[in-house]
Structure 1
Amino acid sequence: MAHINKAKHWLDLKKLILILATLCVLASLFNALFSSYQVQKQVMVKDTLEANRAYATKLADVTDLFLQSVLMQLKASGETIVSHLDSPELINNELKQMLTRTHSFDSIVLVNAQGEIIGAQPSSLGVVGTTLINEAETSPLREQAPFIVGPFVSPAGNLMVSPTHPMFDNKGNFAGFIAAGIYLKGDNILGRLLANHHHQDKTYIFVTGPNGKLIYHHDDHRIGQDVTDNEVVGSLLQKVSGSTQVVNTQGVAMLAGYALVPTSDWGVVAQRPLEVTMSHLSNTMKHVLKTTVPFTVFLLICVLGLGSFIAKPLWRLAKLSEQVQDGRNIDFPHVPTWYYEATWLYQAMRSSVKNLGAQIQRFDDERKQDQLTHLFNRRGMEKWLESAYEQRIPFSIIALDIDHFKKVNDTYGHDVGDIVIQKLAELMRTNAREQDHLCRSGGEEFLMFLPHVDINKAGNIAERLRACTAETQFDEAGHITISLGISHWPLCSDDLHHALKLADRSLYQAKANGRNRVEHAVLANHNVA
């Protein structure tokens, strides 16, 4: 073997191990950090969405209870007032008491069935005697049922929502409604309920009405704004609660949870800027990186020591492997050897692997061949059938058997019997094509597989082989005959094993019908069992 100049290989195994290990450690570190970042991002986003959804649901439930409480108060006062609608003094006293004993709303008015305001508190509103003409304000007259109006601008010029409750006299006739005014830009229970929450991470709440306008927002200037373009608000307008990542109407990416207030069809949205969540994640990953770097450096130092330890025995192995070469020149795949020890191993293993490959091929061929006839044995047959089945190659099957072969062995001995078998194998080769697969399946039994040959043509081939055999002189044994059975896969049966059995049955049918003949299996489309 030619001498290898080590000076040309600046990269030896020790250096290679160090370089590869360093790259692997760094790649693993990057992959771990990246995977951790992605997982933590998904977890934090998911947790934030779930927290906001739960919080929005809680606020929606509390708001719903608040509105139901206001409607119950209105119902109770309405039942007291309805029988005294002709007494302005009693009306004003009742309305004043309602306003002073609760901070649930900022104003309260009483409207008769004709839409005229007949009572109002505080009296400074100056709306008594006016008639409602605004479509939103007159909706309780049409509904005649508990109803929440708004947001709308009241006759006094306040942006508000108004829970209303109808009044009916003792005969069941609609007598008007009583309405509470909750100023959207005022200091009231609803505003404090929505403004005071436990989040200190830039999470904020906003509430939309059934028309998609803001009822509550931490920025008072935005109250009353139409936000129907917001994806979350669109879901709420369809009465759907849940959570999602969304870009709001201000172009800011948000993690939003949202829930519906059943009594009023308001939507409560709790949202947190995605940037805030990601900033927490970045701080976490920086901390992880700081704790990981020292261990990584230590690991690389250990790899350097192990690299030196690993390289020395491998170099010796490369030297020893030269002894397996015997100089045979057969094909061997090229293996790039860019470092010294690998070059030695490549040149030493080249001839060894080639020799081993040739021996394995020879042993494999011998395993698949019948030693007497050099036809394929059952192992070779099964390999070919497996390949043909996987490739869906159609083929005819000829099963053949020597008639009265036991008599040949008994009369002339097994040596003559072996000669008969060998000569019949030669006749089979003579009557077959190169691509046909010929097998000795056992004793005096043989199988021929004819790819892409239909059953009729296979019958002609079988008949020719039968006649040729009958006319041939088999030395001491004289003349012999054979019986043959034919089937086809998949025409006789799509089941490969069944197709083989059909050929075997046809062979035995030929024997039963007098031997020295050919019998065909019936095609499957002719209802062959």
Structure 2
Amino acid sequence: MKFIKKGFTLRFTISLLVITAILLTLLTSIISAVQVNRSSLISNYLNKNESYAKKLASNTNDLLMTMQGNIWAVAQILEREEATDVQLIDDLFQENTQYFNSLVVADHNRDIQAISPHNVGVSIGDRLTSEQSKMAVNTKKASISEPYRATTGRLIILVSAPIFDKNGIYKGFVGGTIYLEEKNVLSDMLKEHFFGDGSYVYVVDKSGNLIFHPNNKRVGQSVIENEVAQKVISGQCGSQRVTNLEGNEFLAGYAYEPNSSWGIISQTPAQVVDKPTHHLVTRMLLFSLPFLLLILLLGWWIASRIAKPLYTLAQFSDEATLRPVPAENIPEIRSSYYEVRLLSQSVKIALQNMNQDLTHLRHEVKIDELTGLANRRAFDGMMAEWIASNMPFALIMMDIDHFKLVNDTYGHVMGDEVLRYLARIMQLMSNEDDLCFRYGGEEFGILVKHSGLGRAKEMADRLREQLAVTKSPTDSSITLSAGIAVFPVHGRSAQQLIEKADEALYQSKENGRNRTTVSQLPGA
């Protein structure tokens, strides 16, 4: 008798498979949980920062409107004066120190008539030379300037208002300044928004220059290359992951402040999600360990129970390797174990019925069990076949309007009846060559063979109108919305056609439901 070298036993193999399956399941669970948790954290931080940036933009708008209102009030007080009173300017500045770093009054030649405080680096009689002061005189309007370097060397913003005499003749302007590189009203409002997790807020002007940053040395720098800065100064609001100019990744939310054309950005370091993710993995491993050991013991015991009765069948197989036996000639294995006898009989029956079962299976996997229509797999296969043969056809995508209300009102059993009812109507109103299918949920469709837009739209409208006047199983009519795309007019791939039909279906929903929308032609 020929001896066969002993290899792995069935008990060992099954135990190894159980261990591998458990470890892979655990690994998959951890990876899935980490991805979901990480995605959720990132989404939360993005939404939080966007909302926070919008709130700060609103607060900044209110602050700027208050400052403009105060400058207007100062201008109106000065309009009532015959001459500029230095003491009056000092008093008005004291009332506005919470908003401005200095207050200056200049005539129509931009010569300083009064300034408070008096130690800012310029004096009464000096002439202002900045483009911003020239603009204030030329426009004779209230304005908020872009940041600029004043003659004192400071980076400032000028909030100005014109002054007219009693006869309406322009006398000059009064301006309140914000020293961006020093303590100012903007930094007082925003500096508190620096959090322990590394989150912080910064502000850019419409040219992409920093006018506030927690690191005061960066004020005045251009960040126009920053993708978020580009979006926010163009008037957009939103959130996204971004890598700043220093190479650090952040979760940023941004909002536009229209009164000044400033952009407010609130951002959090992307690595802030790492710590809770690591904590989640640790907890999952500690929690799973006892269950892992228990399942391993259970798997070993089950493997032993399976291996013992199957050993008899394995011995027969070993003998049969010397003289192959056709399936129909496999002898009955006499054994007290029911499983062994059942396995022997099942092998014979399985070989005889295999082809028949496969044929039946191929049919079953292409039919939707609930409605009897073609399912998604059959739909994908048919569409791929038609596209490959370059056959013109139309795709009608349909969705029952307010189907959730049917389920909520009558229950899911009645909801299933409504789906079967729609399927019957679709089959009655379509041709033999067409393919009616259930795409998923309450969404259905028809592949209309050798069809253009006209016939497809006529079919969709007839179906829609028939449903609207016919009682459904709920004893009332239902309506549906439809979208149509045509091959090859709207696309030459299945994905393009489905997207176009879905877009048209969504348009039908948006325009009031119970209607058919034809997808727009590319480039239209």
What TM bracket, shorter-length normalisation?
Answer: 0.5 to 0.7
Q: Say whether residues 1:244 and 2:240 are aligned partners.
A: yes
Residue 344 of structure 1: CA displacement?
A: 11
1:256 aligns with 2:256: no
Q: Choose 277-286 or 64-73, whichever is displaced more.
A: 277-286
SS in 2 for 1:246: strand
Which has the larger displacement, 7-16 or 246-255? 7-16
Segment of structure 1 superposing worse, 112-121 or 211-220: 112-121
Is 1:121 aligned to 2:102, yes or no? Answer: no
Structure 1 partner of 2:142: 146
C-alpha contact 2:194 2:214 (8 A) present in aligned 1: no
| Structure 2 residue corresponding to 1:81, chosen from 78, 81, 99 | 78
Query: After the TM superposition, which segments of 4 or more aligned residues of structure 1 sit over 4 Å from their partners?
Result: 313-322, 327-332, 342-358, 390-393
Alignment CA distance shift 1:320-1:331 (3 Å): closer
The residue type equivalent to 1:283 in the other structure is: H
Could you say which residue in structure 2 is the equivalent of 1:508?
none
- Taking a change above 3 Å as real, the CA distance of residues 256 and 9 of structure 1, as seen in their structure-2 partners, is same
Identity of aligned residues (%): 26
The equivalent residue for 2:286 is: 290
Aligned to 1:134: 130
Cα distance change, pair 351–298 in 1 and its aligned pair in 2 (3 A)? closer
- TM-score, reference length from structure 1: 0.59
Partners in 1 of 2:350 and 2:253 — Cα distance? Answer: 66
**Equivalents in 2 of 1:179, 1:197: separation in Å?**
28
* C-alpha displacement of 1:356: 5.5
2:8 pairs with 1:11: yes
Separation of aligned partners in 1, 2:309 and 2:137? 98
2:228 is the alignment partner of 1:225: no
Indicate yes or no: 2:105 matched with 1:110: yes
CA root-mean-square deviation: 3.7
Displacement after TM superposition at 1:182 (Å): 1.1
Residue 64 of structure 1 corresponds to 61
Using the alignment, how far apart are the partners of 2:5 and 2:51 within structure 1? Answer: 69
Other-structure match for 2:39: 42
Cα gap change, 1:220/1:66 in structure 2, threshold over 3 Å: closer, same or farther? same
Q: Counterpart in 2 of 1:371? A: none
Shift of residue 163, structure 1, vs aligned partner: 1.6
Cα distance 1:355–1:240, how it changes in 2: closer, same or farther (>3 A)?
closer
Q: Is the 8 A contact 2:34 2:280 kept in 1?
A: no
Which residue of 2 is the match for residue 271 of structure 1?
267
- Name structure 2 gaps, 5 residues minimum: 319-323, 330-338, 361-384, 390-449, 451-524
2:89 paired with 1:95? yes
Contact map agreement 2:309 2:340 (CA 8 A) in 1: no
SS of alignment partner, residue 128 of structure 2:
coil
Q: How many residues align?
A: 348
1:292-350 deviation digits (Å, cap 9, x = unpaired): 2332222222221222233345556778999xxxx985899xxxxxxxxx999999876
Deviation (angstroms), 1:75: 0.6
SS in 2 for 1:131: coil
Shift in Å, 1:231: 0.5
Over 3 Å counting, the alpha-carbon distance change for 1:38 and 1:356 in structure 2 is closer
The Cα shift of 1:193 comes to 0.9
User: What is the rounded CA distance, in whole Å, between the counterparts of 1:308 and 1:275 in structure 2?
Assistant: 48
Check the 8 A contact 2:107/2:171 in 1, yes or no. yes
- The 1-side partners of 2:18 and 2:132 are apart by 74
Once the two structures are overlaid, the 10-residue window that deviates more, 213-222 or 172-181, is 172-181
Structure 1 unaligned regions, length at least 5: 333-341, 365-389, 394-489, 491-529
* CA displacement at 1:237 relative to structure 2: 1.7
Supply the distance in 2 between the matched residues of 1:144 and 1:316 (Cα, whole angstroms): 105
Q: Give the aligned partner of residue 425 of structure 1.
A: none
* SS of residue paired to 1:211: coil
Contact 1:141 1:177 (8 Å CA) reproduced:
yes
TM-score normalised to structure 2 length: 0.59
The CA distance in 1 between the partners of 2:305 and 2:88, in whole Å, is: 97
How much does 1:198 deviate? 6.5
Residues 108 and 26 of structure 1: CA distance in aligned 2, closer, same or farther (over 3 Å): same
Matched residue, 1:197: 193
Contact kept in structure 2, 1:148 and 1:264, CA below 8 Å: yes
CA distance in 2, matches of 1:239, 1:204: 21
How far residue 150 of structure 1 moved from its aligned partner, in angstroms, is 2.7
- Residues 393-435 of structure 1: per-residue CA shift (max 9 Å, x gap): 9xxxxxxxxxxxxxxxxxxxxxxxxxxxxxxxxxxxxxxxxxx
Letter of the 1:122 partner, please give it: P
TM-superposed CA distance for 1:239, in Å, is 0.9
